[in-house]
Amino acid sequence: MMVRIEKVLDEAQLRGLRARIDEGDWVDGNETSGHQSRNAKRNRQLKQGSAAQQEAGRMVLDALGQTPEFIAAALPLKVFPPLFNRYAGGEAFGAHVDNAIRRLDGTDFRIRSDLSATLFLADPDSYDGGELVVEDLFGEHRVKLPAGDMVLYPASSLHHVTPVTRGERVGCFFWLQSMVRDAGAREQLYRLDRTVRTLTQERGASDQPVLELTNLYHNLLRRWADA
């Protein structure tokens, strides 16, 4: 399941985040690459562990905590500290699969990567190329979103970033472990949650069918979640 989440960052948050990362220390993007992706990756990355990366990462996490659509779609248990990258001058990231287990260097923190996330931080009209292309059994899905919007997609998918031929693509990326490991169960919970929210707006939270569906949602979550 791929999910677009709009307006994770508003204009003020986006300006503040860009000001913080733009002044940071940018290094070769292969600083955090695994063996398989090292040969495919050509970009720059905000230095992991730097003050700018840590502060900007907290800004993203704070915004995600205030984004109900993200919480409903991901049901996050653990989130890898957000990282930031830039592509320009033909830089790209060839086809690859994200590591199943992500470890934070120098700590005992690790997650099972159930979902990958890309938060777009540059106006799509300011650069050419730079599409995130996610492959599944139905073919390729090309994603290039407005600044402040994010896409969630299965970390198990084959994906790549097309060359940036004009301007600069700036983004935030991270992985997360969901409370619900099974992707099919997670999708059903997300669909049910969206239905409950829609009916709540139309009928009110005390409406009997809304209460029944809410009860069903939480009982299914109890059955499927590891938390």
Cα-trace Rg, the chain? 18
Residues 35 and 15 in one domain: yes
- Please say whether the beta carbons of 99 and 113 come within 8 A: yes
Specify whether 73 is located in the same domain as 148: yes
Amino acid code (one letter) for 105:
D
Same domain for 141 and 206, yes or no, is no
Nearest to 197 by CA among 74, 68, 108: 68
Question: Which pLDDT score, from 0 to 100, does residue 137 have?
Answer: 87
Q: For residues 87 and 151, state if they share a domain.
A: yes
The verdict on 21 and 103 lying in the same domain is yes
**Distance from C-alpha of 123 to C-alpha of 149, rounded to nearest angstrom:** 10
Task: Provide the domain count of the chain.
Answer: 2
How many Å apart are CA 79 and CA 16, to the nearest integer?
A: 22
Instruction: Write out the chain's pLDDT in tens, 227 residues.
Output: 999 999 999 999 999 999 999 999 999 988 765 555 566 889 999 999 999 999 999 999 999 999 999 999 999 999 999 999 999 999 999 999 999 999 999 999 999 999 999 999 999 999 999 999 999 988 999 999 999 999 999 999 999 999 999 999 999 999 999 999 999 999 999 999 999 999 999 999 999 999 999 999 999 999 999 97
Same domain, 72 and 18: yes
Q: Where are the alpha helices (DSSP H) in 28-159?
A: 35-38, 51-65, 68-74
Q: Does 190 lie in the same domain as 141?
A: no
Q: What is the pLDDT of residue 55?
A: 98
Q: What CATH number does the domain containing 83 carry?
A: 2.60.120.620
Q: Any residues with CB less than 8 A from the CB of 156 and at least 6 apart, and which?
A: 97, 98, 100
Based on the fold, state whether residues 81 and 113 are members of the same structural domain.
yes
Pick the closest to residue 69 from 4, 13, 10, 1 (CA basis): 4
Q: Do residue 207 and residue 145 come from a single domain?
A: no
* pLDDT value for 180: 98
pLDDT in the model for residue 30: 80
| Residue 173 sits in the same domain as residue 219 | no
Print the domain residue range for 172: 3-178
Looking at the structure, do residues 193 and 89 belong to the same domain, yes or no?
Answer: no
Model pTM above 0.75: yes
